[in-house]
Amino acid sequence: MRISVIGCGYLGAVHAASMAKLGHEVVAVDVDPVKIERLAAGDAPFFEPGLPEILSEAIESGRIRFTTDMSEVAGARVHFVAVGTPQGPTGAADLTYVDAAVAALTQYVAADEFVVGKSTVPVGTAARLATSLSAAVPGATLVWNPEFLREGFAVQDTISPDRLVYGVPSGAAGESAVAALDEVYATTLAEGTPRLVVDLATAELVKVSANAFLATKISFINAMAEIAEVVGADVTALADAIGHDARIGRKFLNAGLGFGGGCLPKDIRAFQARATELGVGESLAFLADVDAINLRRRAHVVTLAEDLLGGDVTGKHVAVLGLAFKPNSDDVRDSPSLDITARLHELGAVVSAYDPEANGTAARIHPEVHYVDSADEALRGADLVLVLTEWNEFRQLDPAVVAGLVGRPVVVDGRNCLDRDAWTAAGFTVRGMGR
Ligand code: UDX
């Protein structure tokens, strides 16, 4: 099938390359000429495992084309909208890019074609866009097909997702939309992936409520960590124990620095803002606490660092291991790790920060921080070690070797990812999260 993908960020670039991998002929559009040039040369503009491989394969097969020229989408049957919906100044989602993409698309979309939203939007957006699309192009149909991909597993989550959700209008237009999307995802559906067909509003809500639930689960366990810290209990053992209850489950119960990234923090704020607009703000009032618990973890680590450095970080050498919001990503959007790093620098600590992939993205946001090229370099002479993102490289560090590099053997395990006994045996004072 001929497919267009509008937006080549973390979502769109992976989606476009994955569609080509599934055998479709894809034209991918972005307004950023630098990004398009890199993608066209097979150079992924961000770190995502598996993306370089499927991108090269798609380019070699001739099934993908990258362009800044929207008119090239003409002739595609399905047009995916995968542009960003960043947080606006009030917390509500900024829909500028989605509105602009759909407005630009309407000039080239024909009747019997489908505009398929993938971006995360406030509930009600799809219905509004559907009205403007059918006014501009009678016979074209707008549908919503939310994306649940996790960074670091984006390719796998796109090609073999755990479910497909189609938000479609009722009647014949909805039926043709389902048939078209079934053709797009034929390979995925053949693997037995569950497919849910719902109305537009439900599809939009599925996405934001899934993220709100995940954020709540993380903040729940971080709230338990706060209590465990006071009473001397171990939140990891607690998570293991409650996680055995199949109704609760062990996943997303890792206490640590809390959630960051381009989705969960902004999505829970946008969801609250939308609920308030709809007059049901009370229904999501709890998300303000979810957000507050999450942000408290960052403040907690800064305070812990101050305590471990004798009350004042000024002039103290702090080794930061990890800047990305999670491992296997170079994304530092709303990253707890980078936030803590910048705060310690601001407080006067002499920070040496290292991330296997995110030094560059971090330096763009916080150029004032000192970044180094290896964990060893960061660790040398450190008064305090902070492990802030749980990359395997850090999990696998030999504490005996690290002990020989640092000035003082004190480590904060911000992700509860280190072998506490091994580090303690190597002479370290180890402070975890909620343990
Ligand atoms: C998330 C959703 O998982 C995905 O379905 C949606 O499409 C986009 O948002 P992503 O932002 O890639 O994906 O990251 P995710 O793996 O969900 O992690 C989010 C944050 O929560 C990270 O900062 C991670 O470190 C943190 N986290 C996750 C915890 O602190 N504890 C956990 O137990 C799990």
Within 6 A (CB) of ligand 1 lie 147-151, 211, 214, 218, 252-254, 256, 258-261, 263-264, 325-326
Atom of ligand 1 nearest to the CA of 415: 30
Q: What is the largest CA-CA distance in the chain?
A: 72
Structure tokens at 66: 């990258």
* 260 CA distance to ligand 1 middle (Å): 7
Structure tokens at 249: 């489950």
* pLDDT score for 300: 98
The CATH-assigned architecture of domain 217-435 is 3-Layer(aba) Sandwich (3.40)
Pocket perturbation via mutation, ligand 1, pick of 263, 271, 334 by most ligand atoms within 8 A of CB: 263
CATH of 2-198, one of 3.40.190.100, 1.10.10.10, 3.40.50.720, 3.40.50.620: 3.40.50.720
Is pTM beyond 0.85 here? yes
What type of residue is 252?
Answer: F
What type of residue is 149?
Answer: L
Cα Rg, the chain, nearest whole Å: 23
| Start and end residues for every CATH 3.40.50.720 domain found in the chain | 2-198, 217-435
* 351 CA distance to ligand 1 middle (Å): 26
The conformation of residue 311, written as its DSSP 8-state character, comes to T
Question: Where in the sequence numbering do the catalytic residues fall?
Answer: 263
As a whole number of angstroms, the distance between CA 24 and CA 33 comes to 24
Pocket perturbation via mutation, ligand 1, pick of 326, 334, 335, 337 by most ligand atoms within 8 A of CB: 326
- Our CA angle for 125, 140, 9, nearest 5°, is 55
* 216 CA distance to ligand 1 middle (Å): 11
* 426 CA distance to ligand 1 middle (Å): 32
Binned average pLDDT, 10 residues per bin, the chain of 435 residues: 97 98 98 97 96 98 98 98 96 97 98 98 98 97 97 96 98 98 98 98 98 98 98 98 98 98 97 98 98 98 98 98 97 98 98 98 98 98 98 98 98 98 98 97
> For residue 340, which of 379, 301, 306, 370 has the smallest C-alpha distance?
301
Pocket perturbation via mutation, ligand 1, pick of 121, 259, 389 by most ligand atoms within 8 A of CB: 259
